[in-house]
C-alpha cells in the first residue's frame, strides 16, 4: 500500500512539474503578405469556413482551446500543428510555386470531398469544422476552379 502511495505521489509531482514546460504557441497575430487570402480573391464565406475549419492547424495563427495549457495536451497539439503546417500552410501559400499551388488546391479539394479533412479528432472538438454538404461543395468547387485558372495562366 505504501509503495502504491509513493508511486502515485511521484506521478502527481511529475504531472505538476511538466506543467511548467510549455511549447511556444503558433500565433503571429498578423496576416502575412503571402497568406492565401492575399494570393487569391477569396469570397468571405469561403474565407470564414477555411478559418474555422483549417487555419488552426494550417496557418501561423492558431486559436488555442482551454486544454492547450495542460500537459501533455500542449505537446500533442504542437506536434499536430507542426505536422499540419509542414503539409500545407495557408500563411505561406502565396510563396509556393504555381505548380505547388495547383497541387495543394487540388489536394484540398480531394481531401475535403473524401472527408479526410478536417480530421475527425479536430471536428469532435470544433463545431465550425463540421462542414455541411454546401460548405464542402463550396470548398471543392472553388479550389478546383482556382487550380484550373492557375493552370491555364501558366
For residue range 78-106, what is the model confidence (pLDDT) as tens digits? 888 888 888 999 999 989 999 999 999 99
- How many angstroms separate the Cα of 119 from the Cα of each of 21, 26, 56, 129? 27, 19, 12, 9
* Cβ neighbours of 56 (radius 10 Å): 23
Question: Are 89 and 81 within 8 A, CB to CB?
Answer: no
For 2-32, how does the pLDDT look when each residue is reduced to its tens digit (9 = 90+)? 888 888 888 877 777 777 777 676 676 676 7
Q: Which of 3-7, 42-46, 114-118 has the highest mean pLDDT?
A: 42-46
Question: Are 36 and 90 within 8 A, CB to CB?
Answer: yes
Q: How many CA atoms lie within 13 A of 59 on its CB side?
A: 26
- On the question of pLDDT at 142 being above 70, the answer is yes
For 126-137, how does the pLDDT look when each residue is reduced to its tens digit (9 = 90+)? 777 788 999 999
pTM of the model: 0.79
Residue 34 CA from chain centroid, whole number: 17
Amino acid at each position: 500500500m505504501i509503495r502504491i502511495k509513493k508511486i502515485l505521489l511521484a506521478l502527481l509531482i511529475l504531472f505538476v512539474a511538466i506543467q511548467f514546460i510549455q511549447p511556444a504557441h503558433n500565433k503571429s497575430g498578423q496576416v502575412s503578405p503571402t497568406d492565401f487570402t492575399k494570393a487569391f480573391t477569396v469570397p468571405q464565406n469561403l474565407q470564414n469556413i477555411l478559418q474555422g475549419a483549417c487555419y488552426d492547424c494550417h496557418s501561423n495563427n492558431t486559436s488555442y482551446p482551454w486544454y492547450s495549457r495542460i500537459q501533455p495536451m500542449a505537446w500533442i497539439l504542437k506536434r499536430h500543428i507542426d505536422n499540419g503546417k509542414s503539409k500545407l500552410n495557408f500563411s505561406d501559400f502565396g510563396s509556393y510555386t504555381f505548380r505547388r499551388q495547383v497541387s495543394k488546391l487540388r489536394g484540398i479539394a480531394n481531401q475535403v470531398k473524401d472527408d479526410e479533412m478536417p480530421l475527425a479528432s479536430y471536428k469532435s472538438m470544433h463545431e465550425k469544422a463540421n462542414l455541411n454538404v454546401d460548405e464542402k461543395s463550396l470548398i471543392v468547387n472553388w479550389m478546383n476552379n482556382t487550380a484550373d485558372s492557375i493552370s491555364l495562366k501558366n
